[in-house]
A and B are shown apart, each in its own frame.
Chain A
Amino acid sequence: MQESTFWKRIFLPRRLKADPMNRKTLWRFDFLLFLPVLALVLIGIIFIHSASYRSAEIYQGYYTDYSKRQVVWLGIAFLAFWAALLPGYNLFSRYAYTIYALGLLGLVTVLIIGREIGGAKRWLAFGPLRMQPSEFMKLAFLLALAKYLIYKDVLNKWWGLAVPLALAAVPMALVLRQPDLGTALLFLPILFVVVYVAGAKLKHLLALVAAGVASLPLFWFFVFEEYMRRRLIYFISPGLDPRGGGYQLIQSKIAVGSGGLLGKGLGQGTQNMLNFLLQRHTDFIFSVIAEEWGTLGVILIFSLFFFIILFGLEIALRTREPFGRLLATGVVTLITTQVVINTGMAVGLVPITGLTLPFVSYGGSSLVTSFIALGLLLNVGLRHFPVVAPEDFQG
Chain B
Amino acid sequence: MYRIRVRIILALFAISLAVVAAKATYMQIVLGAHYRALAHMRRLRTVPIDTLRGTIYDRNGIPLAHEEPVFQVKVILKEVEKLDEAARKTWCRNLAKISNITPARAEELLQQAKAKIEEEALSSPKEKEAKFIRWFRRKTPQVLIEKVNLKTAALIEINQDSLPGVVTSLKARRIYPQGPAAAHIIGYLQAINPEEFKQYKDSFAGSEHKRFFPQDLIGRQGLERYYEARLRGSRGLKAEIVDAQFHIHEEYAERPPEPGQDLDLTLDIHMQRAAEAELDDLFEEKGLPGSVVLLDPKTGAILAMATSPRYNPNSFFRDWPQLSQDQHHPLLNRATQATYPLGSVFKVVTLIAGMESGILRPETSFSCQGTYHLGDRDFHCIVSQGHGHTDLHMGLVKSCNIYFFNAGKLTGHREILRWARAFGLGSSTGIDLPSESSGLLPDTAWMWKNQGRGWYLGDTFNLSIGQGALLVTPLQAARMMAAIADEGRLRQPHLLASEDSEGSFQDLGISPRTLDFLKKALDDVVNSPSGTGYRHIRSDVVAIAGKTGTAEVAKDIEPHAWFVGYAPADDPEVAIAVIVEHGGLGGAVAGPVAKSILEEIFKPKG
> Which A residues contact B (CB, under 8 angstroms)?
58, 193, 196-197, 199, 243, 253-261, 270-271, 273-276, 290, 294-295, 298-299, 302, 305-306, 309-310, 313, 316-317, 325, 329, 332-333, 336, 339-340, 343-344, 346-349
Q: Is the pair B249, A260 in contact by a Cβ cutoff of 8 Å? A: no
Q: Is the pair A274, B20 in contact by a Cβ cutoff of 8 Å? A: no
- 21 residue pairs from A and B, CB less than 8 Å apart: A199-B1, A199-B2, A254-B35, A257-B35, A258-B36, A260-B28, A260-B29, A260-B36, A261-B28, A270-B241, A271-B42, A276-B43, A309-B14, A317-B7, A336-B16, A339-B17, A340-B16, A340-B17, A343-B20, A347-B23, A349-B20
* Highest count of chain A CB atoms <10 Å: which of B13, B17, B19, B24: B24
Q: Which residues of A contact B14 (CB under 8 A)?
A: 306, 309
16 further A-B pairs in the complex, CB-CB below 8 A; given A193-B9, A255-B39: A197-B9, A199-B1, A243-B128, A253-B27, A257-B32, A257-B35, A260-B32, A261-B32, A270-B43, A271-B39, A274-B244, A298-B24, A302-B21, A309-B17, A329-B6, A344-B20
Tell me the nearest residue of chain B to A277, going by C-beta.
B244
Bound form: Cα–Cα A298–B42 in Å: 24
B548 to chain A, nearest CB (A): 76
Q: Which residues of B contact A332 (CB under 8 A)?
A: 13
- Is B38 among interface residues, defined by CB-CB distance under 8 A? yes
With beta carbons under 8 angstroms apart, the residue of B10, B21, B36, B243 that contacts A309 is: B10
Q: Is the pair A317, B247 in contact by a Cβ cutoff of 8 Å? A: no
B530 to chain A, nearest CB (A): 89
- Is B173 among interface residues, defined by CB-CB distance under 8 A? no
Bound form: Cα–Cα A40–B7 in Å: 25
Bound form: Cα–Cα A28–B168 in Å: 72
Bound form: Cα–Cα A73–B242 in Å: 33
Interface residues of B in 40-59 (CB under 8 A from A): 40, 42-43
B17 to chain A, nearest CB (A): 5
With beta carbons under 8 angstroms apart, the residue of A58, A258, A294, A305 that contacts B38 is: A258
Bound form: Cα–Cα A295–B244 in Å: 25
Bound form: Cα–Cα A316–B243 in Å: 48
Bound form: Cα–Cα A344–B17 in Å: 9
Tell me the nearest residue of chain A to B17, going by C-beta.
A302
Q: Is the pair A317, B39 in contact by a Cβ cutoff of 8 Å? A: no
- Is B377 among interface residues, defined by CB-CB distance under 8 A? no
With beta carbons under 8 angstroms apart, the residue of B5, B20, B132 that contacts A340 is: B20
- Is B245 among interface residues, defined by CB-CB distance under 8 A? yes
Q: Which residues of A contact B42 (CB under 8 A)?
A: 254, 270-271, 274, 276
A28 to chain B, nearest CB (A): 19
Q: Which residues of A contact B35 (CB under 8 A)?
A: 253-254, 256-258
- Is B98 among interface residues, defined by CB-CB distance under 8 A? no
Bound form: Cα–Cα A257–B31 in Å: 7
Bound form: Cα–Cα A305–B24 in Å: 15
Q: Which 5 A-B pairs have the closest CB atoms?
A: A257-B35, A274-B243, A258-B39, A257-B27, A275-B243
- Is B105 among interface residues, defined by CB-CB distance under 8 A? no
Tell me the nearest residue of chain B to A261, going by C-beta.
B29
* Highest count of chain B CB atoms <10 Å: which of A258, A313, A343, A349: A258
With beta carbons under 8 angstroms apart, the residue of A274, A317, A339 that contacts B43 is: A274
Bound form: Cα–Cα A340–B19 in Å: 9
Bound form: Cα–Cα A325–B9 in Å: 13
A291 to chain B, nearest CB (A): 8
The total of Cβ contacts below 8 Å across the A-B interface reads 134
Q: Is the pair B17, A306 in contact by a Cβ cutoff of 8 Å? A: yes
- Is B3 among interface residues, defined by CB-CB distance under 8 A? yes
- Is B34 among interface residues, defined by CB-CB distance under 8 A? yes
Q: Which residues of B contact A199 (CB under 8 A)?
A: 1-2, 5
B16 to chain A, nearest CB (A): 5
Q: Is the pair A305, B17 in contact by a Cβ cutoff of 8 Å? A: yes
Bound form: Cα–Cα A76–B154 in Å: 56
- Is B25 among interface residues, defined by CB-CB distance under 8 A? yes
* Highest count of chain A CB atoms <10 Å: which of B18, B40, B241, B244: B244
Bound form: Cα–Cα A273–B249 in Å: 10
Q: Which residues of B contact A316 (CB under 8 A)?
A: 6
Q: Which residues of B contact A329 (CB under 8 A)?
A: 6, 9
Q: Is the pair A295, B24 in contact by a Cβ cutoff of 8 Å? A: yes
Tell me the nearest residue of chain B to A340, going by C-beta.
B16
Q: Is the pair B34, A257 in contact by a Cβ cutoff of 8 Å? A: yes
Bound form: Cα–Cα A355–B6 in Å: 25
Q: Which residues of B contact A346 (CB under 8 A)?
A: 24
Bound form: Cα–Cα A196–B1 in Å: 10
Q: Is the pair B34, A196 in contact by a Cβ cutoff of 8 Å? A: no
B366 to chain A, nearest CB (A): 91
Q: Is the pair B5, A259 in contact by a Cβ cutoff of 8 Å? A: no
Interface residues of B in 242-270 (CB under 8 A from A): 242-245, 247, 249
Bound form: Cα–Cα A373–B127 in Å: 48
Q: Which residues of A contact B3 (CB under 8 A)?
A: 317
Bound form: Cα–Cα A339–B18 in Å: 12
Bound form: Cα–Cα A344–B19 in Å: 9
Q: Is the pair A313, B6 in contact by a Cβ cutoff of 8 Å? A: yes
Bound form: Cα–Cα A126–B31 in Å: 46
Digitize B81-105: 1 where CB-to-A-CB distance is under 8 Å, 0 elsewhere: 0000000000000000000000000
Tell me the nearest residue of chain B to A197, going by C-beta.
B5
Q: Is the pair B5, A343 in contact by a Cβ cutoff of 8 Å? A: no
Q: Is the pair B6, A295 in contact by a Cβ cutoff of 8 Å? A: no
A276-B20 contact in complex given A260-B32, A347-B27, C-beta closer than 8 Å: no
Q: Which residues of A contact B23 (CB under 8 A)?
A: 344, 347-349
Bound form: Cα–Cα A340–B10 in Å: 14
A336-B13 contact in complex given A197-B6, A256-B35, C-beta closer than 8 Å: yes
Tell me the nearest residue of chain B to A262, going by C-beta.
B28
Bound form: Cα–Cα A255–B18 in Å: 20
Q: Is the pair B28, A294 in contact by a Cβ cutoff of 8 Å? A: yes
Tell me the nearest residue of chain A to B9, going by C-beta.
A193
Bound form: Cα–Cα A294–B38 in Å: 16
Tell me the nearest residue of chain A to B247, going by C-beta.
A58
Bound form: Cα–Cα A343–B34 in Å: 21
* Highest count of chain A CB atoms <10 Å: which of B7, B19, B242: B19
Tell me the nearest residue of chain A to B132, going by C-beta.
A243
With beta carbons under 8 angstroms apart, the residue of A325, A340, A348 that contacts B2 is: A325
Tell me the nearest residue of chain B to A200, going by C-beta.
B5
Q: Which residues of A contact B249 (CB under 8 A)?
A: 273-274
Q: Which residues of B contact A243 (CB under 8 A)?
A: 128, 132
Tell me the nearest residue of chain B to A290, going by C-beta.
B24
Q: Which residues of B contact A274 (CB under 8 A)?
A: 42-43, 241-244, 249
Bound form: Cα–Cα A197–B12 in Å: 13
Q: Is the pair B243, A276 in contact by a Cβ cutoff of 8 Å? A: yes
Bound form: Cα–Cα A348–B26 in Å: 12
Q: Which residues of B contact A325 (CB under 8 A)?
A: 2, 6
Bound form: Cα–Cα A343–B27 in Å: 13
Q: Which residues of A contact B18 (CB under 8 A)?
A: 302
Q: Is the pair A254, B9 in contact by a Cβ cutoff of 8 Å? A: no
* Highest count of chain A CB atoms <10 Å: which of B10, B38, B245: B10
A37 to chain B, nearest CB (A): 16
Q: Which residues of B contact A276 (CB under 8 A)?
A: 42-43, 243-244
Bound form: Cα–Cα A274–B23 in Å: 25
Q: Is the pair B39, A254 in contact by a Cβ cutoff of 8 Å? A: yes
With beta carbons under 8 angstroms apart, the residue of B13, B20, B28, B128 that contacts A257 is: B28
Q: Which residues of A contact B6 (CB under 8 A)?
A: 197, 313, 316-317, 325, 329
